[in-house]
Amino acid sequence: MIEKVYQELIIKRSELLGKLNIVQADLDKKLETLVKNNWEEFTPSSTIRRKMVAVDGGQFVKELRTGTVFVLNAEALITEGVQILNTDQEVKAGVFRPGNKAKERVGELMAIMELKLALQNGGSGTWILMDGSLKKKLGEVKQLDADFEFREGEITSLNQEDEDIMLLHMVYEKQVYLSQLLDRFGSRTVWISKMSRTKDLFHQDLSDITLLETFTRGPGFSTVKCRPLLRNQVEDHDRRKSLEGVEVCSFYARLDQNENVLRIDLIGRPTTGFIRDLLNDLYSVSVKGYPYPLVRVHYDVKVSRNDRKRIIEMLNLRRRRGVEWWPGQFY
């Protein structure tokens, strides 16, 4: 079977590479004009080293026939320039049995841990830097039919025995923590995406980031696009009610010449001055066009290949197969 795959790749190699490599000359001149009209050149520069709180999480998940093992590690890193002032961590390890929607629950649990740490440590910095997209972090807001008691500083959804209900409770709990974070720190909380396939700025077949990286090279930022964070109403007694009035605004930015374009989400409509101040502060700690605090916290929580091997050995999860080709799902 795999030989046919190789043959297909050889036949289609030029076609596949052509779709992956975007050449500026192949795109319409009108499109180039559109992109450049929505891009403001701005070269950040700053000698001020702001205090920042960078938050990220890492995970290990192993699905077995008896259940799903997970180990989670989240960290809030407080920095001043590139100097680390303090760290705050939270870890969770457990087993979901039988393990229905286990990966979804692990993802929601990690998001809760990250938001809790941001909430607890947000007052220590001028900016709170979160990895990823605000909209994706929020997820879909649904009515919660079952009774659920939210207790700040805890993750009570883990006490639920029914796996489907646990997932619903986790999503709710995450969204409550997110609403508290936005209430408390507002536009000081900044979501930064390295990868974004959204097309809400130019509405073309190619992503906004692809077009900006094709037609621009220097530092600067794009036109800002804003939209309501929620599309549906939340009941008056719901702890997520404050999310109704939130407007999330997004723009793209490049911090240094020829580096990658980043997508930035925050709440409230930022002025040009606000954007320039933010980019100046991010530039002051950037490495190859990306904020160093987010790079450092990412590597602090990343579960490496060696970490995975050690966890598997510690929990005695390694099972010898009778033959190498036998499917791992049987173990």
> Around Cβ 282, how many Cβ atoms within 10 Å?
27
Residue with the two structure tokens 């939270």: 90
Q: Which residues of 201-213 are buried (b: 16+ CB within 10 A; e: fewer)?
A: bbeeeebbbbbbb
Compute CA distances 110 → 170, 264, 319, whole Å: 10, 21, 28
Over its C-alpha atoms, the chain yields an Rg (Å, rounded) of 22
> Around Cβ 195, how many Cβ atoms within 10 Å?
11
pLDDT of residue 1: 56
pLDDT of residue 149: 82
Please, is 62 exposed, middle or buried when counting C-beta atoms within 10 Å of its C-beta (0-12, 13-18, 19+)?
Answer: middle
**Whole-angstrom Cα distance, residue 96 to residue 63?**
9
**Whole-angstrom Cα distance, residue 137 to residue 178?**
8
pLDDT of residue 269: 95
Phi-psi region of 230 (alpha: psi -120 to 50; beta: other; left: phi over 0): beta
SS3 24: helix
- Binned average pLDDT, 10 residues per bin, the chain of 331 residues: 75 77 67 94 90 96 90 97 95 92 95 97 97 92 79 90 92 96 97 93 93 95 95 84 93 97 96 97 95 96 92 78 55 53
pLDDT of residue 126: 97
- 66: phi then psi, degrees, rounded to nearest 5: -90, -5
Phi-psi region of 153 (alpha: psi -120 to 50; beta: other; left: phi over 0): left
The two beta strands, 290-291 and 39-41, are: unpaired
Phi-psi region of 206 (alpha: psi -120 to 50; beta: other; left: phi over 0): beta
User: 45: which residues sit within 8 A by CB, 6+ positions away?
Assistant: 280, 283
pLDDT of residue 48: 85
Please, is 196 exposed, middle or buried when counting C-beta atoms within 10 Å of its C-beta (0-12, 13-18, 19+)?
Answer: buried
> How many residues are there in the chain?
331
Which residue, among 90, 125, 58, has the nearest Cα to 301 in the 3D structure? Answer: 58
Q: Where are the alpha helices (DSSP H) in the chain?
A: 2-20, 29-37, 102-121, 134-138, 163-185, 208-215, 272-283, 292-301, 305-314
Q: Rounded to two decimals, what is the model's pTM?
A: 0.89
